Structure 1
Amino acid sequence: MPLLGGFVDIKTGKLDANASSVNGAYPFFTCSRQPLKIDEYAFNVDAILVAGNGDLNVKHYNGKFNAYQRTYVITVIKYDALDTRYLYHWMSKYVDRLRELSIGGVIKYIKLGMLTDAEIPLPPLEEQKRIAAILDKADALHRKREKSIALIDDLLRSVFLDMFGDPFTNPKGWKVEKLGNVCLKITDGVHQKPSYTDTGVPFISVKNITTGKLLFDDCKFISQEDHEKYYKRCNPEYLDVLYTKVGATYGRPAIVDTREEFSLYVSVALIKPDKESINPYFLKEALANPALKYQADRSIKGIGVPDLHLIEIKNFLMPLPPMKIQNQFVKRAEKIMQKSKKLNNALMYSQDIFASLTQSAFRGELTSQKEVA
């Protein structure tokens, strides 16, 4: 099977992750799933972008942009043999293999050779374009459902602001408390890399919370013995709140909405709210608010890879309305969350369909009967 390096040119960006500009004119691709903005561009190409560390992910962009120094910029040089959209979809699948090959401690990274030496199936160019068109159609349906969920989430934030005001300015004069004062425990997951198993107890890292929800698909597993050892210090339970603290997607909360036991990696903080003082759903929505994210942004440590320390999380300041009003918010939010759950189920179904199509495509099994209706 041909090697990818014979058909593409691969460069990296030159900038630190903090080189972004809020009002920049060009996309700035880092290891985050969402590009930032920047004032100057260094590339003007049709490229596939692969995050080289942290949350490994793949993007496609055609135009002027800039890139973080650990972002790989891949451009096709043999257009008669490789279609760019086909490459994008293949790379989006191959990133699973890259995660297995990644090296390093807390923050995993990949090397150039893991890309250049990748074996890529190359059917005739017209067949590549046909495959890409089918996958584009399935991907568009998937993204449409993602946007619907985003609108539901926006509605929930709107209800929050209507009831409590902007936490940044606290216009309703609520009592202000440090997060650590209204929680029973704030800790994080195990700091060393565990020994993974094919089955066992789910092991959750930041990549399982990037959507703002706890997702068990594509998670790793550890043995029951290791889980029991880790669980003594960090014991996520039903209605606790998880908070991403390492990597480009730091500052995202998620409710533990399952009673299934699991363990956490160091990239995720465990927040156990004192339910006599603060409703977990109110806490989750408060942590998702830009005012709290701003505090996280100011507190971030580390060069290149963001790292939010536990002491900083404990010192977050947040308005604390009376519990009665918090509970009223949760009651109003329940109907919205029910709609969100239905949309998430539909999204998971479309993810399964897309994964099946992708797998068939790169096995040479994508017949016309399997195309998206």
Structure 2
Amino acid sequence: MTGVDSVKWKLVIASNILDIRDGTHDSPKYHSEGVPLVTSKNLKGGDIDFSSCNFISEQDHKKISKHSKVDAGDILYAMIGTIGNPVLVGAYDFDFSIKNVALFKQADNSKICSKFLLHFLQTDIVKWQFKKKTRGGTQKFVSLKNIRNLQIPLPPLAEQQRIAEILDKADALREQRKQSIALLDKLLQSVFLDMFGDPVTNPMGWEVAKLDTQVITNPKLDKTKLSNNLNKITSFVPMSSVSDIQQCVTEYEMKPLKEVIKGFTTFEKSDIILAKITPCFENKKLAFLSNMPTPIGFGSTEFHVFRVTNKEIIKPIFLKYILKQDYFFKVGKFKMRGAVGQRRVPIDFFKNFSLILPPLEIQNQFAHIVEKIEAQKALQQAQLKQLDNLFGCLQQKAFSGEL
């Protein structure tokens, strides 16, 4: 499913049936407590992640709310970075403000079902309409004007509700599978802490060393050795291929060396990559490249790369679980440098970290447990992919009037 040509119902301009606004364009002062400020990076998996929100004053919140007050039943839509991720706002017992987020509010004479609109905003039809209108380099964004001009199919309300109910049931099956995968991730994190303790406070008293004595950060590649075979196919990892939920590369792109040898980050199989730019860093985009199909690869310039120097001292999978601890993401965001929207965590923040070094035998035991649980995750992820494909087919039929 691509453009609006596949839709059989009457198409309407979004602003003709909805009240569409955006959040503040200002950068209010942050405080240690106060009112949460929800931005594009806080919209995840159909929900709002308040745990990573900054806080603003009540005064700034009231000022923002004059233009963009959020109510239960509204829909939020990320306008910058990872565009989309629509969220239907539930009933909260606290207020919050928004920034870099579009706000869909029902008009007085409502002609569209909120759940129908939510599902529509997740489709390729919407992505196709915004594709040529999206601007920006590293940080993509879509304007409020373009969102207001979005074309929406408008079947009768009863038909909208029927479609929404069918898609809700199908989506619930996907959500159950995602929760199963998340539980396996929590199990691994629990096993890690049971075996090694908190790597920051080191309650078990393991030997420690500075990270940069055991790990090469952002290693360089001698590209002169590759110049004689520029047509050779190699792995390529765009930022979008790193899952912030599964913390792995979901799909490697295969490209000839001549297309990627200049202007990209380089890495090797079994390296670990971590996003350094906001909001990808805060979203915990991290991956262990154990299954990369080629010995070397290339990817986004917004990755930091970590390579273990001696695998008889530290296992790469152990290092991955060190780097995925909340400490790095909570403290790292305060170490970021650069302008708003282009802030990056410097590599020195990681280099100076005191790395625990448990005996290799215990690390191997942990690696064996990881291997078993990852095999279970792989089965769950394969089933989730099937459900995603089925859901995509349902969406296509639903919004082309064939359901």
TM range, normalised to the smaller chain? 0.7 to 0.9
- Which one of 20, 33, 37 corresponds to residue 10 of structure 1? 20
1:283 match = 319
Q: Deviations over 1:193-218 (max 9, x none)?
A: xxxxxx9964411563322433445x
Asked if residue 255 in structure 1 is aligned to residue 283 in structure 2, the reply is no
What is the SS of the residue equivalent to 2:364? Answer: helix
Asked if residue 96 in structure 1 is aligned to residue 96 in structure 2, the reply is no
1:359 match = 396
- Which one of 287, 304, 307 corresponds to residue 269 of structure 1? 304
Q: Does the C-alpha gap of structure 1 residues 7 and 181 become closer, same or farther in structure 2, counting only changes over 3 Å?
A: farther
Identical counterparts, % of pairs:
28
Q: Deviations over 1:243-289 (max 9, x none)?
A: 12222241442111323255311232222222343211111111111
Q: Which amino acid aligns with 2:370?
A: A
TM-superposed CA distance for 1:242, in Å, is: 1.6
Asked if residue 323 in structure 1 is aligned to residue 360 in structure 2, the reply is yes
How far, CA to CA, are the matches of 2:241 and 2:31 in structure 1? 23
User: Is residue 48–residue 61 contact of structure 1 (8 Å, CA) maintained in 2?
Assistant: yes
How far, CA to CA, are the matches of 1:74 and 1:58 in structure 2? 10
Q: Deviations over 1:121-156 (max 9, x none)?
A: 111111111111111111111111111111111110
Q: Give the TM-score normalised by structure 2.
A: 0.77
Q: Give the TM-score normalised by structure 1.
A: 0.83
2:97 match = 67
Q: Deviations over 1:304-336 (max 9, x none)?
A: 434222332333333222322211211122222
How far, CA to CA, are the matches of 2:156 and 2:39 in structure 1? 31
Q: Which amino acid aligns with 1:340?
A: K
Structure 1 segment 1-373 matched on structure 2, within 5 A: 1-14=11-24, 16=27, 19=30, 28-32=38-42, 33=44, 34-36=48-50, 42=65, 43-56=70-83, 57-64=85-92, 65-77=95-107, 80-93=110-123, 94=125, 96-97=127-128, 98=130, 101-186=133-218, 202-206=236-240, 208-216=242-250, 224-230=257-263, 234-250=265-281, 251-261=284-294, 262-274=297-309, 275-305=311-341, 306-366=343-403
Q: Does the C-alpha gap of structure 1 residues 100 and 255 become closer, same or farther in structure 2, counting only changes over 3 Å?
A: farther
User: Is residue 278–residue 323 contact of structure 1 (8 Å, CA) maintained in 2?
Assistant: yes
Count of matched residue pairs: 353
Q: Does the C-alpha gap of structure 1 residues 179 and 354 become closer, same or farther in structure 2, counting only changes over 3 Å?
A: farther
How far, CA to CA, are the matches of 2:253 and 2:14 in structure 1? 28
Q: Does the C-alpha gap of structure 1 residues 78 and 125 become closer, same or farther in structure 2, counting only changes over 3 Å?
A: farther
What is the SS of the residue equivalent to 1:211? Answer: coil
TM-superposed CA distance for 1:240, in Å, is: 1.5
User: Is residue 54–residue 248 contact of structure 1 (8 Å, CA) maintained in 2?
Assistant: yes
Q: Which amino acid aligns with 1:53?
A: I
How far, CA to CA, are the matches of 2:339 and 2:96 in structure 1? 19
How far, CA to CA, are the matches of 1:249 and 1:140 in structure 2? 27
What is the SS of the residue equivalent to 2:162? Answer: helix
User: Is residue 267–residue 298 contact of structure 2 (8 Å, CA) maintained in 1?
Assistant: yes
Q: Which amino acid aligns with 1:269?
A: H
Gaps of 5+ in 1: 189-198, 367-373
